[in-house]
Amino acid sequence: MEYDYLIVGSGLFGSVFAHEMNKIGKKCLIIEKRSTIGGNIYTQNIENINVHKYGAHIFHTNDEEVWTYINQFTKFNRFTNSPVVNYKGKLYNLPFNMNTFYQIWGVKTPAEAKEIIEKEKSEYKIETPKNLEEQAISLVGTTIYEILIKGYTEKQWEKPCDKLPSFIIKRLPVRFTFDNNYFNDLYQGIPIGGYTQIIEKLLEGIDVKLNTDYFNNKEKWDKISDKILFTGMIDQYYDYCYGELEYRGLNFETEVLDTDNYQGNAVFNYTEAEIPYTRIIEHKHFENAQSDKTVITHEYPKTWTKNEEAYYPINDERNSALYEKYNKLAKKESKILFGGRLGMYKYMNMDEVIKEALNLVKSEK
Ligand code: FDA
């Protein structure tokens, strides 16, 4: 065989796997259907600004091994994610913390904030939440739910919150400190120079064919290597024999503006239902990019249809059961491995993807 491994997909999962296999002398070929490497972490330089083409990507982890691993390929800046909410023209900090409570109620101490939240929760008297609305109110009370959660969630899922299952929201962390850092992780940042350069380094010395869809010439690709790592959609691999897995879609509308600072923050969430987008991202603030211009992206959630970019798996009962059927087939394979968010039908942050890819490498050694 010409190659030890054919890797379908040049996203983070496929690239970490290829890099590690190449290091131990295995010959790898990556095929990628897009015209760019990196999958959804691809960043494109526009006006001296690294633009996150497939949505805002902030690296954060508590995993020491993953942090050490990724730092071989890039330096990180000290970016801290502190999203701001715009609800009906008023601004609020996220995550829910003392700054938010001051903005909503004018309260200045944790005791005052706790008292209001507890009172709202107890007035609602929900023992077993039957839907997302009840779940959210039982966790944070009515006001925070109305201002910060309801409209945003309804836009994301295109359904009213009282028709959404409660499992979507398990926890809603409330902080009684003046701390706008969205993540609790020990490590956080944006790679200086963007994400694409990480993938370029991972793929040094590895054969890569862009604009190449595995399914357009499956027979040829199946014969080129001893083994295959497939990071595309698992249901497509099995020709949807049990049915289609469902996803949520997203539309990104990106524009260059002739101003050096549009919103003063990387991430603004729009939580009212009447505004069709959920977020505006201003990319230059991820890296404090020096440019007279700025690049912003409006993010619109949408219904996903086959042949469009799939973003978020919908892990409800139907899809989870369906995935398990495909996974049973996958487990019987000896030549083909499945990995990544599409191959495993699982939302994973970048640190989890690296961890999973390194685990797969260990099991292949
Ligand atoms: P990915 O989808 O990136 O790569 C798969 C590749 O396979 C793609 O390039 C695709 O084109 C290719 N492919 C598929 N089928 C093929 C075929 N038939 N033939 C050839 N090629 C094929 N994480 C985080 O840690 N912090 C964050 O802030 C965010 N933000 C974020 C925002 C949004 C909107 C989303 C949707 C996701 C995030 N993430 C995130 C998650 C992050 O994007 C994710 O962990 C990785 O990109 C997943 O990498 P994969 O390699 O698994 O998939």
Between the CA of 40 and the centroid of ligand 1 the distance, in Å, is 4
- CA 325 – CA 61 distance, rounded (Å): 31
Answer yes or no: is the C-beta of 340 below 6 A from any ligand 1 atom.
yes
One digit per residue, the tens of pLDDT, for the chain of length 365 reads 899 999 999 999 999 999 999 999 999 999 999 999 999 999 999 999 999 999 999 999 999 999 999 999 999 999 999 999 999 999 999 999 999 999 999 999 999 999 999 999 988 878 889 999 999 999 899 999 999 999 999 999 999 999 998 888 888 889 999 999 999 999 999 999 999 999 999 999 999 999 999 999 999 999 999 999 999 999 999 999 999 999 999 999 999 999 999 999 999 999 999 999 999 999 999 999 999 999 999 999 999 998 899 999 998 889 999 999 999 999 999 999 999 999 999 999 999 999 999 999 999 98
Answer yes or no: is the C-beta of 41 below 6 A from any ligand 1 atom.
yes
- DSSP H or E run through 189: strand 187-189
Answer yes or no: is the C-beta of 14 below 6 A from any ligand 1 atom.
yes
Planar angle of CA 235, 342, 278, nearest 5 degrees: 120
Answer yes or no: is the C-beta of 141 below 6 A from any ligand 1 atom.
no
Using the atom order of ligand 1, give the atom closest to the CA of residue 213: 19
Domains in the chain: ranges and CATH: 3-79+187-244+315-364 (3.40.50.720), 95-168 (no CATH)
Residue 162 CB neighbour total at 10 angstroms: 12
Task: State how beta strands 279-282 and 294-303 pair.
Answer: antiparallel
* Neighbour-count burial of 68, counting CB atoms closer than 10 A to its CB (0-12 exposed, 13-18 middle, 19+ buried): exposed
Q: Which residue's CA is minimally distant from atom 36 of ligand 1? A: 311
Instruction: Name the residue of 31, 184, 281, 350 to mutate for ligand 1: max ligand atoms within 8 A of Cβ.
Output: 350
